[in-house]
Amino acid sequence: MSRVIRALVYGDVDLNLIDGSAVWAQSTVQALSLAGCETRLVLKAPVLTGRLTDPLAGLPGVTLVRPAEERLVPGQGDRPLSPVQASRLLARLDRDEPCDLLVLRGRRLVGRVVADGRFDGRIWAYLTDIPQSAAAMTEQARAELGRIAAASRRLLCQTEELRCFLEAWVPEACGRSVLCPPSVPEPDFPVPDHDRPHDPFRLVYTGKFAPLWNTLPMTRLPSLLAERGVAAELHTVGDKIHDDPAHPGFHDAMFRALNGGTLGVHHHGGQPREEAMRIAADCDLGLGWRAPGLDASLELSTKVLEFGALGLPVVLNRTPAHEALLGADYPLYVPGRAEPEDAAEAVAHAARAPEARRLAAARCRDAARRYTLRAAADRWRGHLDRVFPPAPAGVVHRARPLRVGVAGHDLKFLTRLLDHFRAVPGLDVRVDAWPALARHDPGASRELAEWADVVVVEWCGPAAVWYSRHKRRGSRLVIRLHRFELDAEWPGQVDIDAVDRVICVSPYYARRTLEHTGWPRHKVVVVPNWVDADQLDRPKAPGARHRLGMIGIAPSRKRLDLGLDVLEALRARDRRWHLSVKSKPPWEYWWIWNKPEERAHYETILRRVQTSPLLQGAVVFDDFGADVASWLRRIGHVLSTSDDESFHLAPAEGMASGAVPALLPWPGADEIYDRRWIHDGPPAMAEAIAGLGESEGTWRSAADTARAQVRESYALDRVAAAWTDLLVSG
């Protein structure tokens, strides 16, 4: 980061009670401090114990705001803040000392802050208490999450699965969601050697006590193990026992089990995080066993990571998330339906099988290394660097910000660039959004033309013509020309003498523009399309290696028929090959569907998909939408079979996702993409793809090469820097 970033942090959590949400608040502040932020943590409740807050007091740049002790909220007394009180207090603290980002946890709280409206564009929302299944995602919940996403600069997601689920249901989350997994501190004390277990065998659980966490059945494990000839004791740490209306009597039963002399149970009460780690480190096996109701959770267990950092093996449920973290062959999954007897069998196996214990400990230790506090600080630093770019040299000494106007009827290809321009210190950005290609508010456009130092017009259409004829003396005008405009009348109507630069996205279309218009060569420059490589770079789903993908199949020049040729050739050799198409159907574009030749093209294609023995059941048409990054997780090869393109973003997006591109030689393709990805025709394309599909290693090696190429040439930060230089320096 080039300047000090000021963060305000508030979680709807009580830091007197140690559980995952309270530990999140502590570790978030620690990571932000390591990342170089000035951070204020606002406490929800009066501090009765400093177990979580004391370690924060001496950290560089960290301030604890204690509303109860400092009497900042009238009438609070010794009660926790309500979401309404918290939102008002955060607004007041921001007025006194403005923050650059507000990090929030808790859905009700975030909803209240969003409704109050003061922090729009500065909210970094960490949401776990949201619906995590299709059945639970009601329309009301979608609308609420949509409002939260639209008001947030970033949505912090604990796992990739949660991020993809959120993006699939909430389009506003796409492009804003980033990974922010839990972090665990590295022990600052010597970790005991766990090769020689204690006698009795020591089990450990730390955290909250709740029905779904199986904490009450856990207290039966020493007696169940005794029946199996294994002497064992259970050590527990924590002081938060849930009152669960769905399980009346749980609180009292849990309290008695912990404090009533239950056979083999040793309860250590609430402890500072470091002391809890010491207690756990002196045990032999961690317990992450939960009720089956949590098997579909999209969250990551901090407990498993903490135990792993201590070199402890963990007994836990077999779930997709745990298999992704520890491997399908991890030896200490609870078998069967994960009943208490099943958990006892898994623990007994761990006690009797030192090799299984060692393998499990090594897997947990390796997993934990990816989630250290320092790794969390590095992730935060990366997120912040992208959101808060440095001021370009050309504006540092200006008396006032450089005024940048952006105009056009369709700004979808400028979205991330606009976000970047607005974040750059020294730039003041305004937008003249035309409601249609040739319709606008002349008064608003005239006002922007008079105000701006630089005007960027997206598309060389009517807006470009208008601004070229209403340019203010001393200002600069930049027009971006894509492709379809060259075949229209507008370039001939533009006053090119008033234009400073015409941006084309590829060398081929820059040459075509010069040939078609006769404009001065020095005015036409190439700045490529951008690819949000950080958003697209995600782990591939199982089976991706044998799945082709096409993004956008309308109009007919996109040549889905040639993509089907490739698929048929592949499936003639191996029926594992499939094609996924992400696109609006052609009949949703009236200007396409009104043409008889277009209709005939797609009718032939659909009939072929239904009747070809090689294609039946092998082509999937997915909904058009912004969730391209999560969709690409299933795709191993992205096809570009078009007759012509100005750039074709789909192969580049696929490359950034870790898919291998495959292109036919449309004009100019070899000036954008490496020739190794370009094939003479569908048979050659199918042959090349089949060769990569034979080996996981070969395919991954090609995907790594493609990913590196797209980052080098078209990554968002590089393209944004080129645009910024163009705006500032001309």
Walking along the chain (730 residues) 10 residues at a time, the average pLDDT comes out as 86 86 92 97 92 90 95 90 96 97 96 96 93 92 97 95 94 95 89 91 95 96 97 95 91 94 93 92 96 86 91 94 92 90 96 96 95 95 94 82 96 93 95 97 98 97 98 97 93 97 96 96 96 96 96 97 98 97 96 96 97 97 95 98 95 98 97 97 98 92 98 96 91
The full 3-state SS of 300-335, as one line of letters, equals: CCHHHHHHHHCCCCEEEECCHHHHHHHCCCCCCEEC
Reported for 514-521, long-range contacts at CB under 8 A and 24+ positions apart, including other chains, are 516/486, 516/491, 517/491, 517/492, 520/496
Is residue 232 within 8 A of residue 264, CB to CB? The reply is yes
Which has the closest alpha carbon to 174: 535, 421, 420? Answer: 535
Coil, strand, or helix at residue 578?
strand
Q: Name the β-bridge partners of 429.
A: 404
Inter-residue contact 474 to 451 (CB < 8 Å): no
Task: Give one DSSP letter per residue of 474-533, joined into a string.
Answer: T-EEEEEE-SGGGGSSHHHHS-GGG-SEEEESSHHHHHHHHHHH---GGGEEE-PPPB-H
Asked if 553 contacts 583 with a C-beta cutoff of 8 angstroms, the reply is yes
Nearest to 360, CA basis, from 326, 328, 320: 326
The runs of H, that is alpha helices, within 133-246 are: 139-151, 160-169, 215-218, 221-227
Burial class (CB in 10 A: 0-12, 13-18, 19+), 358: middle
What pLDDT, on the 0 to 100 scale, is given for residue 303? 85
As a whole number of angstroms, the distance between CA 206 and CA 215 comes to: 10
Rounded-to-integer distance, Cα 531 and Cα 413, Å: 10
Other residues' Cβ atoms within 10 Å of the Cβ of residue 164: 21
Instruction: Give the chain's count of helices (H) and strands (E).
Output: 30, 24
Nearest Cα to Cα of residue 29 among 8, 2, 5, 49:
8
What is the C-alpha separation between 478 and 542, in angstroms, rounded? 45
Distance CA 291, CA 278 (A): 27
What's the token pair of residue 131?
A: 């619906």
This prediction's pTM: 0.89
pLDDT at residue 279 in the model? 97
Q: DSSP letters along 29-68, please?
A: HHHHHHTT-EEEEEPSS--S--TTTHHHHTSTTEEEE-TT
- Nearest C-alpha neighbor of 639 from the set 627, 647, 626, 648: 648
Angle at 577 between CA 552 and CA 545, to 5 degrees: 85
DSSP 16: T
Residues in the chain, how many?
730
d(CA 155, CA 386) in angstroms, rounded, equals 14
Place of tokens 């400028």: 414
**H-state helical runs in 370-506:** 373-387, 393-396, 415-423, 442-451, 462-469, 490-493
Greatest Cα pair distance, the chain, in angstroms, is 91
CA distances from 283 to 277, 345, 730 (A): 10, 19, 65
Q: What gap in Å lies between CA 370 and CA 179, rounded to an integer?
A: 13
- State the pLDDT at residue 2: 57
Angle at 112 between CA 245 and CA 15, to 5 degrees: 60
User: For the CA atoms of the chain, what is the radius of gyration?
Assistant: 29
Looking at the DSSP bridge assignments, the partners of residue 441 are none
Contact 420, 724 (CB under 8 A): yes
Supply the pLDDT for residue 260: 86
How far, in Å, CA of 467 to CA of 445, rounded? 8
Token pair, residue 656, equals 């950034």
Q: Which residues are within 8 A (CB) of 554 and not within 5 positions of it... i.e. 6 or more apart?
A: 583, 584, 585, 586, 589, 592
**Which amino acid is it at 105?**
R
Q: Give the pLDDT score at 1.
A: 47
Residue 707, φ and ψ in degrees, nearest 5 = -60, -45
User: Can you tell me the distance from the alpha carbon of 504 to that of 481, in angstroms, rounded to the nearest whole number?
Assistant: 5
Decide if 316 contacts 304 (C-beta within 8 A): yes
User: For the chain, first and last CA: distance in Å?
Assistant: 26
CB 290 within 8 A of CB 317: yes
Helical spans, DSSP H, in 75-118: 83-96, 107-116
Which region holds residue 195: left if phi is over 0, alpha if psi is between -120 and 50, else beta?
alpha
